[in-house]
Structure 1
Amino acid sequence: MMLFSRVRGLPVLTIGDADRVGVVRALTVDAGSGEVTHVRIRRGRMRREAVVAWDDLGAVGPDLLIARPAGNPSGVPPHHDLVGSRVLTECGEERGTVLDAAFDPVTARIEAVLTTRGELPAGRLLGLGDHALVIRTGHGHPG
């Protein structure tokens, strides 16, 4: 299991020649499927960020990510930062702010979202947009 906060800033190298692509800036999440879909990579100061589909990574380790050489994939979804997002229920009730998220680096599935109000299981995620992470109301749970 890895935390988003531990992945941010890790170097990204290419397979084979181990050229440095850049460093991880952010992870793009599809909250509906509960998966990390893309890695956003900060390249040099004047170069645009690179985007790599999670499926195009060759390896993910605690100290670096290995990417297969590729250009920007087509159909890149819009990026919304999960970490720092407000949490709202589908009824519009405030449920804190996202502090971090834990995910499986092999499957890219989000295991849990850590918020200022506690841990949310990934099965409660509905969507992530500009303004908030929307979750299912937890029935039978206080709060």
Structure 2
Amino acid sequence: MKQTTLIAAKDIKKNWYIVDAAGQNVGRLSTEVARILRGKHKVDFTPHMNNGDHVIIINAEKVLFTGKKESDKTYYHHSMHPGGLRRRTVAVQRELDATKILERSIRLMLPKNVQGRNQFRALHVFVGENHPYAAQKPEVLTFVKKGDNK
């Protein structure tokens, strides 16, 4: 009978990837990035270990929404005080801090526990092309857009 081999913590190697979000759909980009942060793209994926990689996302302000979500989608936050409900549309959030759009989308796709919080720390989102992680020599990741696989 075959046994499942588990990877030890000392054997985990974390790679760095860079993704250009310009022209990408938020949901499709987020699912792929969350998959990489969890480590599900690796053959030695172990659910209880954090063997995901680091992901740098540039051009976060150029990410796209389908349909009328730019004006209709609303982000809610409550301060837990009476009358403390805060609402922001995507357009307003993009003006205030465009990185929060992708960060929130990806964070909600990760596990809601300590491991998910640790995996989320490996996400680095930036507005524009510049980022401080050039020394890590990240590999460029490109995702196939829907309709481009013809």
TM category, shorter: under 0.3
Structure 1 or 2: more helix by fraction: 2
Q: TM-score with structure 1 length normalisation?
A: 0.26
Q: TM-score with structure 2 length normalisation?
A: 0.25
Q: Which has the larger radius of gyration?
A: 2
